[in-house]
Amino acid sequence: MTTKNQELASWVSSVAELTKPESVVWCDGSEQEYQRLIDLMLEEGTLSPLNSETHPNCYLHLSDPQDVARVEHLTYICTDDPEAVGDNNNWLAVDDAKQKMHALYDGCMQGRTMYIIPYCMGPVDSPYSRCGVEITDSPYVVVNMKLMTRMGARALARIEREGTFVKGLHSTGELDPERRFIMHFPEELSIMSYGSGYGGNALLGKKCHALRIASWQARDEGWLAEHMLILGLESPEGETHYIAAAFPSACGKTNLAMLIPPEKYKDWKIWTLGDDIAWLHKGEDGQLRAINPEAGYFGVVPGTNAKTNRNAYDMIQQNTIFTNVAQTDDGEPWWEDKKVGEPSVDWKGNDYTPGNGPAAHPNSRFTVSAKENRAYSSLAEAPDGVPISAIIFGGRRRELAPLVYQAKSWEHGVLIGAGVASETTAAATGEVGVVRRDPMAMKPFCGYNFADYWAHWLSFAERLENPPKIFHVNWFRQDAEGRFLWPGFGENLRVLRWIIERCKGTVDAQETAIGYLPLEDGVDIADLNIDPAVWRALISIDDDQWRQEMDEFGDYLDSFGERLPVALRAQHQMVKAALT
């Protein structure tokens, strides 16, 4: 397989000349190619088979111990204007970045195979999708991109029809942390990554393309690229509403995307269209419509068990690539809080010794096709996406934020999204309650200045005839002893139901300074045995706490200077005034 696109052919030739690979392979995305590369890695020892009876077609990859996560401090947005990039990103001048990367790439693929991966983010025949080509020297990257994207011949055919694509060049290099960089060039739609084999740094279709480059592209083209799950909520009457939701890490994003209804709501259904990224466009009907640009899941494994996320747990029992988990004596994958089995070999490949650190790396991962999820919706391949009724933002707050509240307008909803924050836990930092602001859950992923990003969000008030309603949820309210006030997990469906009823206008709410909250009987909690005083705490606000929050959030907004949108400042002042 080669290409008729002269720009692509020329780029491939120039990369081969620079990196000097032993051979060049164009990837077609076929099952035969996937298995051939699996066999190659098994032979080389970079992949290990897992128990074929309990976990058919599952494999384990162990990373270099110094290459196990995204490296945000080594991730750059490269433009000529640092102000356009903003303080929410690391900036480097284009010429300096290219000079640095070209020196690293010089001869880096000698003795290796160079793989060319044409891929499509989103359904191949959707006008909302965008294509890219990743060049890599890692067969591990190829097989993961096969699971995570629509990759191969059909993607290449679309590239040849349209003539535009994101160029991504990746080499594992020497896996030296001192020679590791991830560079983004949004003005020319290109990415350069060197020195890492880890997913977020090496699978360039994921965070690099689908968020950092796409957010810039979306601003220029009039759409939104967001760190959001997409789910469908189907009532017993067969009515389905679609929700997009953004949460910082450790706030239950994947669990919500794959929620299993509780017994009382067993006639309801949740359809998972995506657990991580949503591309949102104005449809021909004037509604905001969403596609999931990805075709698979690259999820964190620890904490996943039959209780916390049954759908995720079941889908990774077959046809899955695990990265940096432990193994049991009989070759099954193991991780902390799995609740089944005992580890014998840790994530570094050594005999496991209790008390000598976790058996599986805390950021260990699974890669699996979305079609393995029993809640998979075929509308994940719908060219026109799905209409979004509600957008939800969420964070982890012990006290401040109520269980759920609704924005008073689209502009107010943008303020709520900009204010997304989570409090650290003692397990994470040794200090409880440190507020980390993560606007729209996009802090590591927005490819340009947050002030301009909020202005782009605000513009949709005029673009959309029927914009989605915007909400905020907080599953993590606690009492003085640290006990959670809300049961969470499947019971969150009760809150989703209230959200949909608010979108339909079939349930009333109480107006407060921060937005609309449920009435005491607004959410069905009759069988949950929640103390009435606890329930009132979950659906009320403390004005003093919120005044302090608005003061601190105001200081954060001030840090963006004159670039901050006037409309966002006005919304902040309105909330402050209502609190006094």
- The answer to whether residue 409 is domain-embedded is yes
**Side-chain half-sphere exposure of 33, counting CA atoms within 13 A:** 21
Does one domain contain both 122 and 10?
yes
Residue 240's CATH number: 3.90.228.20
Q: Which residues are annotated as a binding site for GTP?
A: 250-255, 365, 396, 489-492
* Under 8 Å between Cβ of 469 and 504: no
CB atoms within 10 A of CB 120: 27
DSSP state of 413: H
Q: Is 364 within a domain?
A: no
Distance CA 209, CA 203 (A): 9
Same domain, 264 and 279: yes
Residue 78 falls in the annotated catalytic set: no
Instruction: Assess whether 95 and 181 both reside in one domain.
Output: yes
C-alpha pair distances (Å), 558 with each of 64, 327, 357, 440, 552: 42, 50, 42, 18, 10
Interatomic CA distance for residues 338 and 340, integer angstroms = 5
Catalytic residue selected from 78, 108, 120, 251? 251
What span, in angstroms and rounded, lies between the C-alpha atoms of 93 and 79? Answer: 6
Same domain, 216 and 250: no
Torsion of CA 204, 371, 258, 57, to 10 degrees: -80
6 token code pair: 């002269």
Of 175, 204, 222, which marks where a domain is finished?
A: 222
Q: Which of 61, 36, 147 is nearest to 371 (CA)?
A: 147
One domain, residues 22 and 109: yes
Total number of domains in the chain: 2
Query: Is residue 338 domain-resident?
Result: no
Q: Of 7, 195, 12, which Cα lies nearest the Cα of 101?
A: 195
Domain that holds residue 482: 226-291+379-579
Residue 56 domain-assigned (yes or no): no
Residue 400 and residue 422: Cα distance in Å, rounded? Answer: 11
Question: Where does residue 48 rank: exposed (0-12), middle (13-18), buried (19+ CB within 10 A)?
Answer: middle
Q: So what's the pLDDT on residue 425? A: 53
Q: Any idea what the CATH number is for the domain that residue 22 is in?
A: 3.40.449.10
CA dihedral 44, 50, 52, 54 (to 10 degrees): -170
Q: What is the CA radius of gyration of the chain?
A: 24
Hunting for tokens 């907004």 — which residue is that? 557
Residue 300: inside a domain? no
Phi, psi of 451 (to 5 degrees): -60, -45
* Spatial distance between the Cα atoms of 257 and 251, rounded to a whole number of angstroms: 12
Q: Are 131 and 158 in contact (CB under 8 A)?
A: yes
Domain match, 135 and 264 both: no
Q: Read off the DSSP letter of residue 376.
A: B
419 residue type, one letter = G
Tokens 């200045």 belong to residue = 449
User: Is the same domain home to 392 and 472?
Assistant: yes
Residues 406 and 488 in one domain: yes
For residue 134, with 0-12 CB atoms within 10 Å meaning exposed, 13-18 middle and 19 or more buried, which class applies?
buried
Per the listing, tokens 């059909």 go with 154
Q: What is the pLDDT of residue 427?
A: 39
Residues paired with residue 297 on neighbouring β-strands, in sequence order: 368
Q: Which of 314, 304, 298, 275 is nearest to 146 (CA)?
A: 298
pLDDT tens column, 291-321: 999 999 999 999 999 999 999 999 999 999 9
Residue 88 lies in a domain: yes
Binding annotation: 70, 198-200, 207, 227, 249-255, 276, 363-365, 396, 489-492
pLDDT at 460: 98
pTM, to two decimals: 0.97
What pLDDT score does 2 carry?
86
Backbone dihedral region of 429: left (phi > 0), alpha (psi from -120 to 50 degrees) or beta?
alpha
Amino acid at 546: W
Tally of CB atoms within 10 A around 361: 25
Indicate if 183 and 253 belong to the same structural domain.
no
Rounded mean pLDDT for each run of 10 residues along the chain, 580 residues in total: 92 98 98 98 98 98 94 95 96 98 98 98 98 98 98 97 97 96 98 96 97 98 98 98 94 93 97 98 95 97 94 98 98 97 97 95 97 97 98 96 98 98 60 84 97 98 96 96 95 98 98 98 96 97 97 97 98 97
Per residue in 134-191, pLDDT (tens digit) is 999 999 999 999 999 999 999 999 999 999 999 999 999 999 999 999 999 999 999 9
Residues 295/279, Cβ–Cβ less than 8 Å: no
Q: What is the DSSP letter of 501?
A: H
Same domain, 209 and 232: no
Q: Is residue 347 in some structural domain?
A: no
Please enumerate, by residue number, every residue annotated as part of a binding site for substrate.
70, 198-200, 249, 363-365
Report the Cα 287 to chain-centroid distance in Å: 23
- Mapped onto helix, strand or coil, the DSSP state of residue 372 is helix
Return the DSSP state at 351: B
Query: What is the rounded CA–CA span in Å between residue 56 and residue 226?
Result: 34
CA dihedral 24, 27, 28, 34 (to 10 degrees): 120
CA distance 108 to 390: 47
Indicate whether 263 and 244 sit together in one domain: yes
| Domain final position from 203, 222, 241 | 222
Same domain assignment for residues 442 and 557 = yes
Q: Is residue 55 part of a domain?
A: no
**Final residue of a structural domain among 171, 204, 222:** 222
Q: Binding-site residues for Mn(2+), please?
A: 207, 227, 276
